[in-house]
Chains A and B, each alone.
Chain A
Amino acid sequence: MSAIQPPAETIWWKQPLDRVEGTWISIALLWSLIMFFMMPIWHVYGKQNLSNEAYRTTPAAFMAKTQAMVDEYTVRTETDMQLPVVHPPPGSDIYLIGRLWQWWPLLELEKDQTYRLHISSMDWQHGFSLQPVNINTQIVPGYEMVLTITPDTSEDQTIICNEYCGLNHHTMVGKIYITDGGS
Chain B
Amino acid sequence: MQISLDNFSRVMKYAPLFGRGLVVTVLLSLVTVLLGFILAFILAMMSLSSVKILRAVSTVYVQIVRCTPMMVQVLIMYYLLTGIISFPRVFLFGYIEVGRFIPAAISLALNSGGYMSDVIRGGIEGIDQGQTEAARSLGMTKGQTMRYIIIPQAIKNILPSFANEFVTIIKESSVCSVIGVAEITKQAQNVQSATFISLEPLFVATFLYFCLCFPTSRIIAYFERRMRASDQR
Do A and B bind? Answer: no
Residues of B within 8 A of A (CB): none
- List residues of A whose CB falls within 8 A of some B CB: none
